[in-house]
Amino acid sequence: MRMGITELAVKLRKREISAVELTKAYIDAIEKLNPTLNAYVHLTFDTALEAAEQADQMLKEDDAPLLCGIPMALKDNICTDGIPTTCCSKILEGFKPYYDATVWERLKKQGAVLLGKTNMDEFGMGSTSETSCYGAPLNPRNTNYVTGGSSGGSAAAICANLAVYSLGSDTGGSIRQPASFCGVVGLKPTYGAVSRYGLIAYGSSLDQIGPLTNSVKDAAIVFDAIKGVDRRDQTSVDYDYGSSMAECLDRDIKGIRIGVAEEFFDGINPEIKSKVEEAIKLFERNGAVIENIRIPAMKLALPVYYIIACAEASSNLGRYDGIRYGYRTASYSSIDDMIVKTRSEGFGDEVKRRIMLGTYVLSSGYYDAYYKKACLIREEINREFDAVFEKCDVLVAPTAPSTAFPLNCKRKSPVEMYLADICTVPVNIAGVPAISVPCGEDANGLPIGMQIIGRRFGEVTVLQVAHFYEQNAGQIIGAYEGGVRI
Amino acid sequence: MNYEIVCGIETHIELATRTKIFCGCTTEFGGEPNTHCCPVCTGQPGALPVLNQKVVEYAIKAGLALNCKINTKSHMDRKNYVYPDLPKAYQISQYDEPLCEKGYIELDSGKRIGIARIHIEEDAGKLIHEKGYTFIDYNRSGVPLIEIVSEPDISSAEEAKEYAEKLQLIMRYIGISDCKMQEGSMRCDVNLSLRKPGDSSLGVRTEIKNINSLSFIQKAVMAEAERQADILDAGGTVVQQTMRYDEATNTVTPMRDKENSEDYRYFPDPDILRFSIDEEKIEEIRKSLPELPFEKLKRYVNVLGLPEATAKQISRYRKVAEFFEGALAEGASVKNAANLIVGTIFATMGTEEEKELFDVLISPAQYAALVKLADERKINIGVAQATLQKMLETGKPVEEFIKPEDLVGISDEELEKLCREAMDANPKAAADVRSGKDKAINAMFGYIMKKTGGKADIRKAEVMLRKLIGQ
Ligand SMILES: [Zn+2]
């Protein structure tokens, strides 16, 4: 059984292990496994050991924070002062920000030990992590399969126990879907619950940073540490969750109203469908009230998502021109030529596809037909979600319509890849929180994920229901053999 | 010219906030290149903008001073285009919901020039071309601007100049910008087309970019109107294009051959939430607005009874007006207080800028103390002027220069005695005055002033002399 954050924190405080020893154990495991798994793309062992030493100093004090000395990883789109942050894109080759993302600043203050930056789909665009310029990470549960995406490296690192926890970002399912494919826990918080300052933007109105962990409790602890209003992000919200997340986990689920929407189960792999239905029965047996509900606008969520996300991406990615930082083409005849060549060479196909799509939907003459209409439908989806959460406390749904795909199989068909986000995207459109928890395996032994979705700032209930399931469903946590054993 | 000018002006004004529009960087002019910068204003990946509330407040101030309707709901948009001085590849601006709309500026003639809209936006960086390279300085990047767009209501070069002049005056007055055209804190783009009188449809228009002085606005409008008229007279058609005004040759020439129909792909900036402004805040700002220069001018003429020319000179500069009104509050007379400012204080100030700053060493109260001596005829205007000069140089109060014994001045008996002496000394002059040659009295004034060292009250002396001469 692998250890969670609380158990490790106890061990560190009892001096059964030092932060430096713990960090070294993770470094060894990464050195051994990462060449195969490709979960990390930038390693920061030197600074990790320094941080661990400092953490050991902090741990001598009685009030050292819970995350002090715990080795972790960040997705490669979260800015880290002096450490490469490239969004796994050639265009940001060699880019080292001179500022920290707010989430990293908060964790650093707690004495976090950063092992490195994890692999991802280029700029978060993809559902397999195969669009990374560093090559795809492999699914530790079966290396012939993808990790999911775009936070594939972050999920793989947790699955293989190459970090105690990691942060990913979720624009349309990028935390939950790889969590589901790798059999780990992934939380996408409410939009605005966690500051986006320092998160390299993909779809600004959808992006949200969240943790990937081995347990719901760990997710609660990490979320607790990173959440909260930030004066540098106007979209962040000053929401008072009351007591700490982890303390709420053991509350009873009796009387909790769980919504089941048939729209989430359309076209889902039958194996997954039946596992999630089993879970629903488990909740019912334990006193939850099951409500059958409808979210008709959900069928429009995927096109709405691709219009809004791509529109915002086309604008957000305009700044990569080779002038100030990152990759610049080798030879050029004029500034226009330089920009065109830099972008042609620096961006991968999927990113180019989405920039083109986004530019198109914002162009005059098409704006009303696409972008504006998408915004209207987004409002309708929001209204339907609001109505749902008047009747229910949470929604339960599959995380993805299938388990992990074999490597390379989706690369030729982007639309097929887009469908992998069908269950996760509506949650980003509505800006509500959702968690993916492991929910058994398919016949090939690949993990299945279940989503628990809550109302805006309803993280406490989401985590509580997820925790109940985790504790009572007898799921095997950390089924992967290898990685660190403490 | 057989055409009517149809002209509108777009004015960019840099707001005098201490920090930039989306970050805490200083807006201070100059500085080593790229030293007033941070991740936000240089558009680094991951950085996010936070809207400066002061910018919104200043823009509302401008809107209220220009009689605009303030939109209580507003948002920021992204205007996407690629240029090296624009680090995010979009400018954060306002598109379909500008902060202020539908105002006007009234010209001296009483004609109103409509203000279509005022919106807030960020400035870009600056390109520096040197030694075959192009360098970029982002110090200006993120400096807050407002863009004031007039309706095409301007129909002459003079009106164009007056409009811009009035706009500048108002913006300075309400303290939101120094509007220095030379330093670029106010820049005008002029849109112009011609049409036959009586035509209701608009002709093809051109846009003259970045005019940086008031007189150039007038000249550019004139030059462009003539250029377009020549084309039309020759049976040609005006091409819609962007022009540049060359002050050296007083000509307008195309900047780009074709107006490139750029598609800015505007959409609401998802990083900045929609904002609403409550009516209370608007009222609070409205109350904080100073009396505007034109209202002041009217009041000075109609209520205080100042001659229009003097009233104009004082009301034009907010600090001067405050000084003047401060002196009035201390009991100085309108006429003397105004005349001494315009005649004596302004003489020490060479430029508009100095008058604008009005950096004087004495307080309105000190000034009033001097003016009152003149009002009460305890000193005459000549002494007042000379004393004021000394006060301005030293910052010392009037008592330092005028002793109590000087103030008592000349008693009526003494004055009478002096007048008799003056008549005796100038018998011819006295006779001339008696026979109606009024100017001859000056010779006797000269005698009296000489004897008293300039202290005698000349008006009193005049009355006395005329009585003695028997007029
Ligand atoms: Zn800045």
Q: Residue A213: beta bridge partners?
A: A185
Cα distance between residue B388 and residue B341, in whole Å? 10
Q: Is A334 on the interface with B (CB under 8 A)?
A: no
β-partners of residue B74 are B275
Average pLDDT, chain A: 94
Are A318 and B88 inside 8 Å of each other by CB? yes
A373 is an active site residue: no
For residue A423, pLDDT beyond 70: yes
Tell whether A305 is covered by a domain. Answer: yes
Taking CA–CA distances from A311, the nearest residue in chain B reads B267
Percent with pLDDT over 70 in chain B: 96
Least confident of A361-370, B165-174, B204-213, B448-457: B448-457
pLDDT at residue B409 in the model: 61
User: Which residue is closest to A335 within chain B, CA to CA?
Assistant: B84
Looking at the structure, do residues A96 and A242 belong to the same domain, yes or no?
yes
A272 occurs within a structural domain: no
Domain CATH code at residue A219: 3.90.1300.10
Residue A34 lies in domain: 5-258+390-416+426-472
Contact A293, A417 (CB under 8 A): no
> What is the predicted pLDDT for the residue at B2?
82
Q: pLDDT grade, residue B13 (50/70/90)?
A: very high
Q: Is residue B50 less than 8 Å (CB to CB) from chain A?
A: yes
The yes-or-no verdict on residue A272 having pLDDT over 70 is yes
Q: In this complex, is the C-beta atom of A379 within 8 Å of any C-beta atom belonging to chain B? A: no
Is residue A214 in a domain? yes
pLDDT of A258 reads 97
Same domain for A92 and A117: yes
pLDDT digits (tens, 9 = 90+) for A436-472: 999 999 999 999 999 999 999 999 999 999 999 999 9
A454 shares its domain with A358: no
Q: Do A315 and B136 touch (CB under 8 A)?
A: no
Instruction: Please answer yes or no on whether B89 and A339 come within 8 Å at the CB atom.
Output: no
Q: Are B297 and B376 part of one and the same domain?
A: yes
Same domain, A397 and A342: no
Whether residue B400 is found in the same domain as residue B418: no
pLDDT > 90? residue B378: no
Q: CA-CA distance, A236 to A357, in Å (whole number)?
A: 28
Same domain? A325 vs A354: yes
Residues B306 and B258 occupy one common structural domain:
no
Active-site residue (options: A127, A150, A154, A436): A150
pLDDT per residue as tens digits for the range A341-351:
999 999 999 99
Q: Are residues B128 and B232 in the same domain?
A: yes
Q: Does A247 score more than 90 pLDDT? A: no
CB atoms closer than 10 angstroms to residue A321: 24
Asked if pLDDT for residue B167 goes beyond 90, the answer is yes
Shared domain check, A213 and A112? yes
- pLDDT, residue B197, reads 84
- Looking at the structure, tell me whether residues A49 and A25 fall in a common domain: yes
Enclosing H/E stretch for A454? strand A447-454
> Among partner residues B44, B267, B272, which is closest to A311 by beta-carbon distance?
B267
A204 and chain B in contact, CB less than 8 A: yes
User: Mind listing the pLDDT tens digit for each residue in A117-127?
Assistant: 999 999 999 99
- pLDDT at residue B308 tops 80: yes
How many degrees, rounded to 5, is the angle at CA B436 between CA B431 and CA B439?
85
Annotated active-site residue A169? The verdict is no
pLDDT band for position A92 (50/70/90)? very high
* Same domain as A348, residue A219: no
Which of B280, B315, B333 is the last residue in one of the domains?
Answer: B280
Q: Are residues A401 and A355 in the same domain?
A: no
Same domain, A225 and A307: no
Statement to judge: residues A182 and A323 lie in one domain:
no
Q: Which of A353, A377, A401 is the last residue of a domain?
A: A377
User: Residue B410: is its pLDDT beyond 70?
Assistant: no
Kindly state whether residues B175 and B266 are assigned to the same domain: yes
CB contact B134 to A (< 8 Å)? yes
In the predicted structure, residue A481 carries a pLDDT above the cut 70:
no
Residues of B in contact with A359 (CB under 8 A): 265
Q: Which residues in chain A are contacts of B266 at CB distance < 8 A?
A: 362
C-beta separation of B46 from A101 below 8 A: yes
The range of the structural domain enclosing residue B377 comes to 289-404
B446: domain CATH number? 1.10.10.410
Residue tagged active-site, from A75, A90, A275, A410: A75
> A426 to chain B, minimum CA–CA distance in Å?
18
> Which pLDDT does position A477 carry in this prediction?
52
Kindly report, residue by residue over B313-350, the tens digit of the pLDDT. Answer: 889 888 899 999 888 888 888 888 888 788 888 888 87
Q: In angstroms, what separates the C-alpha of A377 from chain B's closest C-alpha?
A: 16
**Pair B74, B195 in one domain:** yes
Q: Rounded distance, CA B92 to CA B20, Å?
A: 13
**Whole-angstrom Cα Rg for chain B:** 30
Same domain, B140 and B269: yes
Which amino acid, one-letter code, is at A267? G
Report the number of distinct structural domains present in chain B. Answer: 3
A171 at the B interface (CB within 8 A)? no
Instruction: Clarify whether residues B194 and B298 are in a common domain.
Output: no
Q: What is the pLDDT of residue A414?
A: 74
Please report, to the nearest 10 degrees, the dihedral formed by the alpha carbons of residues B392, B395, B397, B403 taken in order: -70
B115 and B185 housed in the same domain: yes
CA angle, B298 then B301 then B302, to 5°: 80
Domain membership of residue A308 (yes or no) is yes
**Are B374 and B457 part of one and the same domain?**
no
pLDDT band at A411; cut points 50, 70, 90:
low
Structure token pair of residue B81: 């285009």
Residue B408, chain A, CB below 8 Å: the answer is no
- Point out the domain boundary residue: B381, B404, B427: B404
For residue B94, what pLDDT is reported? 96
Enumerate the β-bridge partners of residue B243. B208, B254
Q: What is the mean pLDDT of residues B44-55?
A: 96
For residues B295 and B349, membership in a common domain is answered with yes
Asked whether residue A403 is assigned to any structural domain, the reply reads yes
Q: Are residues A246 and A315 in the same domain?
A: no
Which residues of chain B lie closer than 8 angstroms to A321, CB-CB? 82, 84, 89
User: Tokens for B414?
Assistant: 């003494």
Total count of domains within chain A: 2
The residue among B25 and B294 whose pLDDT is bigger is B25
Which residue of A79, A204, A367 is in closest CB contact with B270? A204
The answer, yes or no, to whether residue B403 has pLDDT greater than 80, is: no
Residue B261 has pLDDT above 80, yes or no: no
Cα Dmax for chain A:
71
> Pick from B387, B404, B421: which residue ends a domain?
B404
The dihedral sign for the CA sequence A71, A72, A73, A78: negative
Q: How much distance in Å is there from the Cα of B17 to the middle of ligand 1?
A: 13
